[in-house]
Amino acid sequence: MTPQRQLALPFILLLGIAYVVTGLVGHDPWKPNEAYSFGLIYHIWGGGDWVVPMLAGEPFMEKPPLFYISAASVATLFSSWLPLHDAARLTSGIYMAATLVFVGLSARATWGAGRGLVAVTAFLGCFGLLVDSHLMYTDIALLTGFALSFYGFALSRTRPGWAGLALGTGVGIGFMSKGLLAPGMIACMAVSLPALSASWRSRGYARCLAIALAAAMPWLTLWPYALYQRSPELFMQWLWINNFGRYFGFAHLGAESEPWFYTRTLPWFAWPALPLALWSAWRLGPQGLKRPELQLPVLALIVMLAALGASASAGTQYALPVLVPLSVLAAGAVHLIPQRAAAGIDWLCRVVFGVLALALWWGWMEMMFRGHPPEWSWLARYLPMDFKPPFQGFALAAAVALTLAWVLLLPRLRELEIRPLLSWTAGLTLVWGLCSMLWLPWLDNAKSYRGMFASMQRALPANHGCLASQHLGEHERAMLQYVTGIISVRREVSDTRCGYILLQGRAGDGRGPLQGGWQLIWKGSRPGDNSEQFSVIGCKSDAGVTGCPVSVPGWLSDRGS
């Protein structure tokens, strides 16, 4: 074995650790997905039961509670050392680490020894995984369930017993993470494989499916039964509205799908696994479809994309499971890229990511020496330019170590057959790490609700009583409770009269002056956010709560205040 090959395993192991760990801590829950997810975690952590997920005092039946339960448990373990939200976010790192293991094992079972590291490297290099894998929301647990189920399929022809246990457990994790989507897609794969190829028509495969069904049943029944016993109405709301209604569109939930959404999304979302998977399929040729190694990932891709494309709701995070079969398929022939092309891609990756790393270091040094963010006009559209950057010694040391590892270790692997893929993933990890270590305080300042809601709380009297809200989103309600301890009374669902009302609206969406009896108490927004604004209006002391009109403006403009 060459020195480069001996160095490859520890390097990729360190690469995976650096990828998974960086970005997990150091920032508040962010909109759109983290904020409401943490609200559900916060409820369970605070002693709430696990059967009915609650968001700011109201049942939230969109998804089963596996991720929220596990995150509340991890938060309990680590909250002595970390802020509660950071401790809870470690759960995503745990699920991601498990996903990497299952992707590697799947590729090894499919292509043989040595291919697991290749699949993991391709998986980590995907653009679509980069940000989502470091946030706390249930799609990360769903991804782990899919990866475990795929491993069960890959193992089913050689070790049906263990394969059935892995397959059934993966189905259960997927179901308890996001409902019927995972069991539906995996069931379609399980039935289609023997229908399309004689390679899967065996007693061993049948035994695998029987064991998988037995392993999945506890996952599929215990929580739904407990929920139905607690409230048949909430059970139907979860089953019918948030599963069938969301998928077929009659519930009008989630972002609406667009024609060819995933066709337009996958080329960048699954880069570089997608082109490498296509290269592997081309190298194997038409005869390759007769091989089980190619049949499984190809069928998985067809089933997943067909199911996602037929859904009335679409989102990039829904495509995360597609990266598993793509990465496994990419491992089949990535080492067969022509030598000249591999050298050119390797050189290009080092140059591009090296330039990006230099820009990130340059911007950070400007912040440190000048005391304000770099005056780059394109950044001003997204980030607040009046931010005062703090100096964080540990983050600086970690950024230096990551940069030195990239500079010193990566060139020693230039003779590996997968060096262009390794250069890409290592460069992407370097850039992500520098953003997470050097630029994170600025990003968090723009995306966090903490400062805004803390300012609002200071503007309210100490004995303000109940606070109503109007048009306040689920993300904002969750952060309002976490930052201030206030659970707002939503005017959309309750006619309880409160002396103060928190309004959410679009910036500049003025609708005239305040009606009699109300006065503006506070107005604010997140730093650098030019789209949303929040206001608190209060009942004038001479009017009293009952003297204020029931209807209030949906938004307050500067002119109206």
Tens of pLDDT, residue by residue over 48-63, are 788 999 998 899 999 9
Q: How high is the pLDDT of residue 529? A: 77
H or E segment and range at residue 148: helix 139-155
Q: Are 178 and 146 in contact (CB under 8 A)?
A: no
Cα dihedral sign, 336-341-345-347: positive
Q: How high is the pLDDT of residue 541? A: 66
Q: What is the mean pLDDT of residues 161-178?
A: 96
The DSSP bridge pattern shows strands 489-490 and 467-470 to be parallel
Percent over 70 (pLDDT), the chain? 92
Which residues have C-beta within 8 Å of that of residue 306, sequence separation ≥ 6? none
pLDDT class for 506, splitting at 50, 70, 90?
confident
Please state which of the ranges 125-129, 143-147, 383-387, 440-444 shows the lowest mean pLDDT. Answer: 383-387
Q: How high is the pLDDT of residue 560? A: 36
User: What count of Cα atoms within 13 Å lies in the side-chain half-sphere of residue 329?
Assistant: 31
Q: How high is the pLDDT of residue 555? A: 45
- The answer, yes or no, to whether residue 206 has pLDDT greater than 90, is yes
Please state which of the ranges 306-310, 434-438, 464-468 shows the lowest mean pLDDT. Answer: 464-468
| Residue spans of beta strands (DSSP E) within 33-129 | 54-55, 58-59
- The answer, yes or no, to whether residue 551 has pLDDT greater than 70, is no
pLDDT class for 326, splitting at 50, 70, 90?
very high
Q: Are 490 and 469 in contact (CB under 8 A)?
A: yes
Please state which of the ranges 72-86, 93-107, 349-363, 409-423 shows the lowest mean pLDDT. Answer: 409-423
Most confident among 245-254, 355-364, 548-557 (mean pLDDT): 355-364
Average pLDDT, the chain: 88
Q: How far apart are CA 9 and CA 120, in angstroms?
A: 11
Q: What is the mean pLDDT of residues 402-428?
A: 86
pTM of the model: 0.92
- The answer, yes or no, to whether residue 288 has pLDDT greater than 70, is no
Q: What is the mean pLDDT of residues 354-368?
A: 94
Q: How far apart are CA 257 and CA 474, in angstroms?
A: 21
Most confident among 105-114, 306-315, 348-357, 515-524 (mean pLDDT): 348-357
Q: How far apart are CA 170 and CA 107, in angstroms?
A: 17
Q: Which of 383, 280, 375, 286 is nearest to 336 (CA)?
A: 280
pLDDT class for 556, splitting at 50, 70, 90?
very low
pLDDT class for 509, splitting at 50, 70, 90?
low
The DSSP bridge pattern shows strands 489-490 and 500-506 to be unpaired
- The answer, yes or no, to whether residue 561 has pLDDT greater than 60, is no
Q: Are 38 and 136 in contact (CB under 8 A)?
A: yes
Q: What is the mean pLDDT of residues 304-314?
A: 90
| DSSP assigned state of 94 | H
- The answer, yes or no, to whether residue 13 has pLDDT greater than 80, is yes
Q: What is the mean pLDDT of residues 328-337?
A: 85
pLDDT class for 186, splitting at 50, 70, 90?
very high
CA distances, 241 to each of 161, 204, 226, 348, 474 (Å) = 36, 38, 18, 49, 18
Three-state secondary structure along 287-351? HHHHCHHHHHHHHHHHHHHHHHHHCCECCHHHHHHHHHHHHHHHCCCHHHCCHHHHHHHHHHHHH
User: What count of Cα atoms within 13 Å lies in the side-chain half-sphere of residue 387?
Assistant: 29
Percent over 90 (pLDDT), the chain? 63
Q: How high is the pLDDT of residue 352? A: 95
Residue at 40: amino acid letter: L
Q: What is the mean pLDDT of residues 208-225?
A: 96
pLDDT class for 557, splitting at 50, 70, 90?
very low
- The answer, yes or no, to whether residue 544 has pLDDT greater than 70, is no
